[in-house]
Homo-oligomer: A and B are copies of this chain.
């Protein structure tokens, strides 16, 4: 049984520190260069899709998809996403190589042309709710458009709905970003109750929009996976179909940067988005859409493919979690979730220590996601959250990186306690 650091004497802490410093220096002398900063698939994961490049034909549903046209995606690819996401093809727009661009463009559209109401750029203030910790690139989009971000605490079953229901009484609160399944970074999946409560919301702003970033919709690590309620099945009960814009992509299914994204929305929203899209492009890359369809065959093909990713990723997550458990549990200095999918492990260390952990890791050659990045404006007021991305390094390297991280967490906390 480990002893709580808070109950240790200064002498005990110093002894602990000395042992940890030795281990830290041993690591440092190895001259490591490891990266746990971003949710990049490993090269072996990318190899899983290499046969996609064998697709040579270019006729889909009788159409030569090499040429101009077909604004919202070839029908076969719309159907693939529709089947995966449990919606009608007519509610799908197949997008560019990244759902990030779909999200940026949608917020941009709301800013310049509104969401059925006054363009947001004409309003004195626009605010968004941001469950925290969250995805830094959501926050960057909002910051770019000068949209004020309000932190919403994450609970174990999703964002704090009481807080949300209070905030949406303000009609300058125009929306919310969510990663409802295997949230980035905590790996939390919103419970059915939370999804229903979200679908039932009655925001003061008629043009309130939820960006439902379902980035990890089928990114399970194991058979024992989380199930997310399909919010589009629930929204109609409350007449709220127009409130949600869902996005997803194959970035972490096939190739990051060379995948295909999709946007799912109500008939009204699809029509409004197509209006802009028709000005912005003639079509996205239909040859790549076709390549994906031919490679997977159907939605079951995609699901089978994801099992191969899980086989590669699961041992990496297990490796990090084992280190966390071995070194940090029972000491009262850190907590984390055991996610069943997604790309991250979220580690909360003793308040005021996360930045120092990042510095120590860097000193010994391990790059973490910038500490603070999981909060709007890069400001984690408690200086506590660290996002761990275990996917990219090979297992042997990850083993070292995770051990080092644990050493750094303990060192930072001891430093803090010793004042």
Task: Show the binding face of A for B, using Cβ within 8 Å.
Answer: 38, 40-41, 43, 46, 50, 53, 55-56, 58, 64-69, 96-98, 100-101, 104-105, 108, 111-112, 119, 121, 137, 140-141, 144-145, 251, 255-258, 276, 278-288
Contact = CB atoms under 8 A, between A and B. Distances in A.
A111 B279 CA distance: 15
Contacts of A279: 104, 137, 140-141, 144
Closest 9 CB pairs of A and B: A258-B287, A104-B280, A68-B256, A46-B66, A144-B279, A257-B283, A97-B285, A66-B255, A258-B285
A68 to B, nearest CB: 4
Given A112-B121, A257-B282, 4 more contacts: A67-B255, A98-B282, A144-B276, A256-B282
Given A40-B67, A257-B66, A285 B282 contact: no
15 contacts: A40-B68, A53-B53, A53-B55, A66-B258, A67-B255, A100-B281, A100-B282, A101-B281, A104-B281, A112-B121, A119-B121, A255-B287, A257-B283, A258-B285, A258-B287
A293 to B, nearest CB: 14
B67 A257 contact: yes
A96 B67 CA distance: 16
A145 B46 CA distance: 40
Given A66-B255, A67-B46, A279-B141, A108 B112 contact: yes
Nearest to A68: B256
B286 A258 contact: yes
A216 B56 CA distance: 28
B53 A67 contact: no
B53 A256 contact: no
A38 B69 CA distance: 10
A152 B137 CA distance: 42
A42 B41 CA distance: 39
A256 B145 CA distance: 32
A407 to B, nearest CB: 28
A337 to B, nearest CB: 24
Nearest to A291: B53
Contacts of A137: 279
Contacts of A105: 280
A135 to B, nearest CB: 12
A41 B53 CA distance: 24
Contacts of A104: 279-281
